[in-house]
Amino acid sequence: MGLRIGTRGSKLALWQARYIAGLLREVDAGVEIELCVIKTKGDRVQKVPFAAIGGKGVFVKEIEDALLSGRIELGVHSLKDIPTELPHGLVLGGVPKRDEPWDVLVTPDGCGLDELKRGAKIGTGSLRRAAQLRAYRADLEIVGFRGNVDTRLRKLGAGEVDATVLAAAGLRRLGLSDIAQWRIPYDVMLPAMGQGALGIEVCEGELGELLAAISDEVTFRAIRAERALLGRLGGGCRTPIGCLGEVEGSVLSLEGVVCDPEGRRVVRGRREGEAIEPEGLGKLLAEDLLARGAEGILEEIRAE
């Protein structure tokens, strides 16, 4: 059997695609796999904020088009990049075990948020990260940052900013776990939906048995709750929303936060429920957040 995997061309994306290829070969040693590098809109447009170039799907649409046209059989993504609504005919066919979901503060000396000087510059292109940073320390100056991990670290090294925020999983996958970093606690910054997890997108009805063999049910349930939460809130790159689902035994806990872009208003909540009903839990927490003020925040953001 031959499979073509669609992937972006960054170091991180290629690592992720090769990792999935390795898992597939463990299940079927005879499978022939070809990596097909596809440039997405998010890769082509580097100097414009995500929200200004379309927000949702800027790193996946071209790969989805290749799936629908039959040029590839699988698309491998960072799960946080996959919109909650998929094109007709495509499904999230597999989710392997999740890696570290938290964010880390990267500085030259590995200091924490409380140790940064007043007015310190932090580089990030994420509204979610920026809003939660402002909510924690309003004195910080947020500097718009785009580019891959290497680019951001190079800008940090050049002194353009005092710190940047990156995903711990991405650093580990790139062999950069030893760089100076400080883990940001969840009560300060909740991650993006699906952060630390990989998503395998396929055409509906394709490769189900093979993908089930490399998927992790615990991770998949947590992800389904997070995606249901984000979907009910109508979130995307223009909305500062963080969430994290965790499963212990038969219990699924889900935490979520909605902020205004300046971090002045923060609505945070948590719910627990049966792990076998992740979507229901996600929607319940979303309704709770909306009722306690998130709806007003989101309406204002959409009106801008």
- Positions marked catalytic: 81
Neighbours of 183 (CB within 10 A): 13
Which amino acid appears at position 260 of this protein? D
45-74 burial, b if ≥16 CB within 10 A, otherwise e? eeeeebbeebbbbbbbbbbbbbbeeeebbb
Strand pairing class (74-78; 2-7): parallel
| Residue among 193, 292, 288 nearest 245 (CA) | 193
Question: Token pair of 201, please?
Answer: 């997108």
| CA–CA gap between residue 281 and residue 285 (Å, rounded) | 6
3-state secondary structure 46-87: CCCCHHHHCCCCCCCHHHHHHHHHCCCCEEEEEHHHCCCCCC
| CA–CA gap between residue 297 and residue 304 (Å, rounded) | 11
| CA–CA gap between residue 173 and residue 98 (Å, rounded) | 12
Question: Token pair of 51, please?
Answer: 């929200």
